[in-house]
């Protein structure tokens, strides 16, 4: 059973396009997160939702818009993709805020 899953696993697209990444967790957790890992493997929080409510928004360009239709899902939509958006995007979840986070396998985005 996959605890935190992401689709797609790989995404190759052209600059200027709009794309979405989906995340689902079957752990019954209340809190979900998006992290970005750059080419040097540095990880940084982007967003967090708790019970479908946005609680973290870390100075991310407004081209990035998270959406949480329910507690088990947190999607990331990116408008007008830029070269610098190329990265690995990780979804994570935790039972509650401040508890251990469990990560998905990542979505590798390449913008050409």
Partner 1 sequence: GDSVTQMEGPVTLSEEAFLTINCTYTATGYPSLFWYVQYPGEGLQLLLKATKADDKGSNKGFEATYRKETTSFHLEKGSVQVSDSAVYFCALSDDTWAGNTGKLIFGQGTTLQVKP
Closest to partner 1 by CB, 15 vs 54, is 54
CB of 37 to partner 1, least distance (A): 9
Burial class (CB in 10 A: 0-12, 13-18, 19+), 102: middle
- C-beta of 19: minimal distance to partner 1 in Å? 20
Cα separation, 99 vs 80, in Å, equals 34
Minimum Å distance from CB 105 to partner 1? Answer: 4
54 SS3 class: strand
Min dist CB 40 to partner 1, Å, is 7
CB-wise, 64 or 102, nearer to partner 1? 102
Count CB neighbours of 62 within 10 A.
Answer: 7
DSSP type of residue 14 = -
Interface with partner 1 by CB under 8 A: which residues? 4, 31, 33, 35, 40-45, 48, 55-56, 58, 90, 92, 94, 96-106
How far is 109 from 5, CA to CA, in rounded Å?
16
């Amino acid at each position: 059973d996959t605890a935190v899953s992401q689709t797609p696993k790989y995404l190759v697209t052209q600059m200027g396009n709009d794309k979405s990444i989906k995340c689902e967790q079957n752990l019954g957790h209340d809190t979900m997160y998006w992290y970005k890992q750059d080419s040097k493997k540095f990880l940084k929080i982007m967003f967090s939702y708790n019970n479908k409510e946005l609680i973290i928004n870390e100075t991310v360009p407004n081209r990035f818009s998270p959406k949480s239709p329910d507690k088990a899902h947190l999607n990331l939509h990116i408008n007008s993709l830029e070269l610098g958006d190329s990265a690995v995007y990780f979804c994570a979840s935790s039972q509650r805020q401040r508890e251990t986070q469990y990560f998905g396998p990542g979505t590798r985005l390449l913008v050409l």
